[in-house]
Structure formats: structure tokens, C-alpha cells
Amino acid sequence: MPSNKILEEKKAKVAELAEAIKNSASCVLVNYQGITVEDDTKMRKELREAGVQYVVVKNTMTGRAFEMNGTSDMNPYLNGMTALAIGTTDAIAPAKVLKKYADKLESFNILAGYLDGAVIDQNAVIALADIPSKETLIAKFLGSIRSPLYGLAYALQAVVDKDGSAADEAAPAAEEAPAEA
């Protein structure tokens, strides 16, 4: 039987993990079996740079942390060698980085995720990872807004260029009309 000190340390670790999950934008659960130390180091560096916390915790402790947040639906995915990537600000960052390594390594698998209080399956996490970055989406949006405006400007310019002389002749005629009345 473990000592009270060890139990208290484990409870504190579970509470800390539960708090991190609660305050996160998203979480991605992966099976990291088969990843080399070199790839793991690169992946952890990319995750840190993206603002993602990557933790390897016993499945029972991770399950308890999810239960504390009311998301015990993640517990069926907690089998084997699992790790949790917690995105604090960007909900897409954990999925993007982990998908890159899941595509590269055959034994490294995305299992499930947690987004906006709901558990999402592997396919949803992969679809989330395929979403372009925020900057790309903003650029596409601005481009789609700009395109019709340019079209309108070109059409108006064409009217002015074509009918420019007719518009100059119509202006004096409009000034004379009230004088005749």
C-alpha cells in the first residue's frame, strides 16, 4: 500500500492536470509508442513553440483528471502508452503538430481529443489539424472581400472611360434645363 505522502503527491498531480485541461482550448490524446527519442525531442520542441503542454501521465491519473472535469468519455481511449497535448491558447496547434508526426510515423497514433467541452474522435482531430492557420484564413477572407470591390471599381472606371465625354456634355444641358422652365 502506498504511503500517504505518495498518495497526496498523486492527488496534487491529478488536480494540476485537471486544472490544465479545464483551462485549455483543446487537448489531443496520442499513443506515442514507437517514436524515437530524436523525433520525440523535435516534436516536443515544436509543441512548446506552439504554446502546447505535452505530458505523459499514467492512464489512471489522466482518467481521474478527465473525470474531475466531467469528461469521462475520454477514458475508453486511455489504453497503452498515451500522452496528452494540451493547447492553452490555440485550439488547433496540438492537432496540427501531432498530425504531422502521426503521418510520418506508423506506430504514432492520434486517439481522440477534447474541444469546447466535448470529446472528439480521431477523424475530428485530423479534420481540425487540416484547418488552415488563422493568418491564412484572414488573408483568404480579406481577398474574398476585396475581389468584388475591385470588380465594381473596374466596372465604374470602364463606364467613366466609355461615357466620359457624354457625361461632360450632359452637365451643361442639366444646368440649362431649369433656366428654360
The pLDDT, as a whole number, for residue 4 is 87
Taking a C-beta distance cutoff of 8 angstroms, is the pair 59, 79 a contact? yes
Q: Computed over its alpha carbons, how large is the radius of gyration of the chain?
A: 29
Mean pLDDT for each consecutive 10-residue tract of the chain (181 residues)? Answer: 84 90 89 88 92 91 88 85 89 89 88 86 88 82 81 84 61 52 45
Angle among Cα 114, 120, 124 to the nearest 5 degrees reads 120
The pLDDT, as a whole number, for residue 162 is 83
Q: Helix (H, G, I), strand (E, B), or coil: what is residue 118?
A: strand
The H or E element that residue 127 is part of is helix 122-129
Task: State the chain's maximal CA–CA distance in angstroms.
Answer: 110
